């Protein structure tokens, strides 16, 4: 619960990952369709700019996928010996 939740009535913060995925998917579809329409009409510069925005959305989707897989791997319980609650595990990758 937030520091001022009792005063302001604010709900706890939630992850915006689903919204980010939805917006990126919309951008890919929208930019693809509109870029195709511009290209068929002979307007190459707007079509190229929309392709650039669509490619950025595809990269964003890839980043979201990598981060979500990394988060799922961290959430698994440790199979290492001494994996008691609160055990941090091997942190050699942080050195």
- The pLDDT tens digits of the residues spanning 28-83 come to 999 999 999 999 999 999 999 999 999 999 999 999 999 888 877 776 665 555 55
Q: In this predicted model, which residue has the larger pLDDT, 47 or 2?
A: 47
Task: Give backbone dihedrals phi and psi of 32, rounded to 5 degrees, phi first.
Answer: -65, -45
Asked whether 52 and 35 are in contact (CB, 8 A), the reply is: no
Assign 27 a pLDDT band (cuts: 50, 70, 90). very high
**Residues 63, 86, 4, CA angle at the centre, nearest 5°?**
70
Residue 51's pLDDT is what? 97
Q: In this predicted model, which residue has the larger pLDDT, 24 or 72?
A: 24
Distance CA 65, CA 68 (A): 5
Domain spans of the chain?
16-73
Q: In this predicted model, which residue has the larger pLDDT, 57 or 13?
A: 57
Residue 36's pLDDT is what? 97
Q: For the residues 81-90, what does the mean pLDDT come to?
A: 56
């Amino acid at each position: 619960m937030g520091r001022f939740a009792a005063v302001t009535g604010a709900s706890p913060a939630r992850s915006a990952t689903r919204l980010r995925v939805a917006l990126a998917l919309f951008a890919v579809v929208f930019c693809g369709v509109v870029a195709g329409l511009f290209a068929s009409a002979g307007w190459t510069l707007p079509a190229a700019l929309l392709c650039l925005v669509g490619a950025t959305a595809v990269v964003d989707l890839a980043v979201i996928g990598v981060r979500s897989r990394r988060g799922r791997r961290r959430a698994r319980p440790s199979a290492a010996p001494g994996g008691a609650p609160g055990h941090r595990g091997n942190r050699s990758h942080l050195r």
